[in-house]
């Protein structure tokens, strides 16, 4: 297995710059692994492909408006901070942009908010300490951290949040969830499908390409996740009755399969809270996930590798080729795929 096996060419015009409006009008490509078929639908058709008793698992993380702009003290040079992980009320790990951001450098973000570089973590990562807790004022000061391939400004910050986002902490949206509307969720519940909420706070490393020739040598990122006992009970009950566990997004897959590694023999998942470093590559044995809703991912990415582990590399790349020929929209604001 080589990283080059997960490469493909995508014309830039196929990268979605705006979310579908309404959200559930996005397209839905269904890949049926058993029947070896592909079919084309609209996302609002999703409930018709779910069955009573199934459990649909959503990631309710909320994206932080974590991009901050300021200037160096005393030179006035431009600085950009992208907050990644909160260590304490005043201390964060951040991705920084600007020259000379060495340990000890002081930064002004506003008249009231100052910061200092405490530690160099390598690359563009730094540990930054603020003069006051930044969390309560992020909504006033911060901007949404859109992926680098999206060049069109948001009309509304909520465009980059799922309708069920509740727990702040992500540096990026769990994009498979962006297609859902309250109407689609109600239709799913009316059908007798259990809706289960978990949390995984998405890190920016999710966008990084794999540069190593052997993907197994790639240093996989760690992300904080949680699956509560109540969610575990619903999931295990559904599987015990022969129903399917349908994961919405690769973040949900990562959380469920992390929880599956800790379970008892007669259960599918166990409660879990903490950092996961689970790296899912082809050859991985899935224990908790029966079906997956996902977007179309970047070439050479760990997310494309995870989807290929679930559905098979050849199937996935064939589906991507069909999607491109059919004019599907790709990446974070793009269309969706349901893998059965």
Query: Quick check: 306 and 258 in contact, CB under 8 A?
Result: no
- Across the chain, which has 340 residues, the per-10-residue mean pLDDT values are 95 97 98 97 98 98 94 94 90 91 95 95 92 91 91 94 96 96 98 98 80 92 94 96 97 97 82 94 96 97 96 98 98 98
The set of residues, in sequence order, having a beta carbon less than 8 Å from that of 78 and lying 6+ positions away, is 69, 71, 72, 98
**DSSP state, residue 281:** -
Give the pLDDT confidence score for residue 320 in this predicted structure.
98
- Give yes or no: residues 255 and 310 share one domain: yes
Q: Which strands make up the sheet holding 336-339, listed edge to edge?
A: 37-42, 27-32, 336-339, 291-295, 245-248, 55-59, 194-200, 223-227, 272-276
Both 111 and 234 in one domain: the answer is no
Any domain includes 249: yes
Predicted local distance difference test score (pLDDT) of residue 188: 98
- On whether both 30 and 132 belong to a single domain, the answer is no
> Rounded to an integer, what distance in angstroms lies between the CA atom of residue 340 and that of residue 336?
13
Give the per-residue pLDDT at 236: 95
pLDDT of residue 10: 96
Residues 111 and 206 in one domain: no
pLDDT at site 205: 74
Q: How far is it between the farthest Cα atoms of the chain?
A: 65
Domain that holds residue 77: 67-141
Shared domain check, 294 and 262: yes
* Sequence-ordered alpha helix ranges (H) in the chain: 138-141, 182-190, 229-240, 250-260, 302-311, 313-325
* Residue 148 contacts residue 171 (beta carbons within 8 Å): no
In a domain, 148, yes or no: no
Q: Which of 94, 84, 146 is nearest to 115 (CA)?
A: 94
pLDDT at 339: 98
What's residue 154's pLDDT?
94
**One domain for residues 244 and 275:** yes
Total of domains in the chain: 2
Same domain, 190 and 56: yes
Q: How is residue 249 annotated by DSSP?
A: S
Relative orientation angle of helices 302-311 and 313-325, to the nearest 10 degrees: 110
Looking at the fold, whether 240 and 115 belong to one and the same domain comes out as no
pTM, entire model: 0.92
Q: For residue 294, which of 9, 31, 2 has the smallest C-alpha distance?
A: 31
Q: Are 312 and 318 in contact (CB under 8 A)?
A: no
- DSSP string covering 60-110: -EEE---EEEEEEETT--EEEEEEEEESSSSEEEEEEESS---TT-EEESS
């Amino acid at each position: 297995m080589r990283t080059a096996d997960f490469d493909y060419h995508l014309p830039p015009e196929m990268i979605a710059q705006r979310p579908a409006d309404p959200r559930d009008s996005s397209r839905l490509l269904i890949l049926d692994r058993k029947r070896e078929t592909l079919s084309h639908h609209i996302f609002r058709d999703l409930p018709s492909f779910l069955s009573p008793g199934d459990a649909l698992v959503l990631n309710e993380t909320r994206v932080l408006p974590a991009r901050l702009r300021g200037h160096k003290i005393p030179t006035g040079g431009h600085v950009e901070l992208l907050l990644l992980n909160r260590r304490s009320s005043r201390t964060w790990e951040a991705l920084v942009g600007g020259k000379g951001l060495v340990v000890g450098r002081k930064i002004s973000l506003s008249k009231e908010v100052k910061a200092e570089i405490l530690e160099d973590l390598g690359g563009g990562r730094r540990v930054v300490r603020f003069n006051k807790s930044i969390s309560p004022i992020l909504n006033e000061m911060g901007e949404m951290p859109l992926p680098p391939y999206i060049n069109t400004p948001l009309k509304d910050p909520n465009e980059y949040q799922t309708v069920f986002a509740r727990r702040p902490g992500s540096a990026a949206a769990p994009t498979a969830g962006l297609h859902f509307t309250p109407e689609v969720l109600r239709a799913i519940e009316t059908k007798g499908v259990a809706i289960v909420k978990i949390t995984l706070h998405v890190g920016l490393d999710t966008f990084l390409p794999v540069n190593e020739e052997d993907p197994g040598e790639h240093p996989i990122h760690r992300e904080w996740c949680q699956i509560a006992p109540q969610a575990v009970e619903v999931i295990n009950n559904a599987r015990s009755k022969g129903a399917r566990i349908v994961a919405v997004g690769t973040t949900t897959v990562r959380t469920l399969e992390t929880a599956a590694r800790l379970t008892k023999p007669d259960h599918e998942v166990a409660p879990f809270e903490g950092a996961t470093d689970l790296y899912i590559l082809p050859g991985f044995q899935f224990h908790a996930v029966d079906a997956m809703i996902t977007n179309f991912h970047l070439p050479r990415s760990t997310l494309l590798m995870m989807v290929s582990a679930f559905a098979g590399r050849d199937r996935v790349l064939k589906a991507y080729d069909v999607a491109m020929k059919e004019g599907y929209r790709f990446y974070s604001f793009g269309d969706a795929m349901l893998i059965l």
